[in-house]
Amino acid sequence: MSTFTTTDGTKIFYKDWGTGRPVVFSHGWPLNADAWDEQLHLVASHGYRAIAHDRRGHGRSSQPWHGNDMDTYADDLAQLVDHLDLRDAVLVGHSTGGGEVTRYIGRHGTARVGKAVLLGAVPPLMLKTDTNLEGLPLEAFDAIRAGVSADRSQFYADLSLPFYGFNRPGANVSKGVSDAFWLMSMQVGIKGALDCIRAFSESDFTDDLARINVPTLIAHGDDDQIVPIGASGLKSAELVKDATLKIYQGAPHGLVGEFKDQFNADLLAFIAD
């Protein structure tokens, strides 16, 4: 396995396929780099270098007690980019990974970054506050914490349904996709899983978004039940200076079916442009 060790001693697993301009993928909670496999294969097959890592606490990376916060996630990504000496990279982040990409740019700038993609991403802020009325109440995230703490296996199995929109009438349900979601989720250490809930829900990325100075594709499904578009994608598109907004009608949070095909085509077009 390909790994590198961060400055605090955390071992980070990553995949590195193909050659060409680097495209670096950051995954959502509670998944790992495998969630991006189809996109990794896609871009590597089209002449790009496809890279994805398991966030600390997730998948095959170390499960440290400390550092399960958005600043450290972004710093881990920066160390991966430096470790591989990537230049003119395209950073792609889904959900929590979109927060990771945004915070990376906020903390480390775009000297090594040429473009960014935020898919169903959590910025600017998921939590409902007096100044963010479109967000979700704290009780919603407390319920996630309670589900993970009480019976995380069943919680993850249940979460796969709204994640991919499988709970909608007439949905083309794939047990295989749900099973894969459960398998990846069960690889997350419970400490990292619980800490990451706070990281993705309570981190305010407003200032980070304002620092993005590269072309950015913001893609979001308007039937996203996990990260509602009104509190995230629509707001982010207003805050990023050079943003292109793609709204997928009826699409859920997770990449599946026609939504996946649409995003794959848009991703290749955006990278090539």
What's this model's pTM, rounded to 2 decimal places? 0.97
Mean pLDDT computed over 90-106: 98
Mean pLDDT over the full length of the chain: 98
Query: Hey, which residues are catalytic here?
Result: 95, 224, 253
> What is the C-alpha separation between 144 and 33, in angstroms, rounded?
22
Band (pLDDT 50/70/90 cuts) for residue 154 is very high
Mean pLDDT computed over 253-270: 96
Angle 149-28-50 from CA coordinates, rounded to 5°: 145
Q: Where are the domains of the chain?
A: 2-272
The reply to whether CATH 3.40.50.1820 applies to domain 2-272 is yes
Strand 243-248 and strand 113-119: the pairing is: unpaired
Q: Which two tokens stand for residue 224?
A: 């996203």
Residue 194 near residue 57, CB atoms below 8 Å: no
Per-residue pLDDT reduced to its tens digit, 27-57: 999 999 999 999 999 999 999 999 999 999 9
- Whether the per-residue pLDDT at 1 is higher than 90: the answer is no
Band (pLDDT 50/70/90 cuts) for residue 269 is very high
- Whether the per-residue pLDDT at 273 is higher than 90: the answer is no
